[in-house]
Amino acid sequence: MPPIKFEHAQFGSIVANGVRYDYDLILTAAGEIRARPKHLSKKYGGWHTILGPEEIKFALAGAPKIVLIATGHFGVLPIHAQTRALIAQLGIVLECARIHRALARYDELARAGKRVAMILHLTC
């Protein structure tokens, strides 16, 4: 499957493969694009919905070697320690960056033929 083409990333929305999304996304290494199931992480509380381990399991479909987390325009997305531990336990490389850097990194990795999954936080 060809890499996903991103364009027009702005606060609260992104265009991927010509389709506009106004919500956080999970992209699998198999090329599936789906809504981030934030409701699964509400139980962790906080002022911002943390990225919990229940959510990251969706990104693991397609057996990625790298999970890339776009932490938002200002890098605010908190990542639960159990999420980090699960990724490490599976021997998957975790990379985190603000959204524009993460999108550039995704392009680099995809062009190099790497199996990469990505979680995109589109706001702060």
pLDDT bracket for residue 1 (50, 70, 90): low
The architecture of the domain spanning 6-120 is 3-Layer(aba) Sandwich (3.40)
Region 2-28: what's the mean pLDDT?
A: 94
Could you read off the pLDDT of 76-116 as tens digits, one per residue? 999 999 999 999 999 999 999 999 999 999 999 999 999 99
Q: List the one residue out of 85, 68, 81 whose CA is nearest residue 121.
A: 68
Please compute the mean of the pLDDT values over residues 18-31 and round it to a whole number: 96
Q: What is the pLDDT of residues 26-47, one digit of tens each?
A: 999 999 999 999 999 989 887 7
At residue 122, the pLDDT reads 97
SS (H, E, C) the chain: CCCCCEEEEECCEEEECCEEECCCEEECCCCCEEECCHHHHHHHCCCCCCECHHHHHHHCCCCCCEEEEECCCCCCCCECHHHHHHHHHCCCEEEEECHHHHHHHHHHHHHCCCCEEEEECCCC
Sorted by where each begins, the domain ranges of the chain are: 6-120
pLDDT band at 50 (very low <50, low <70, confident <90, very high): very high
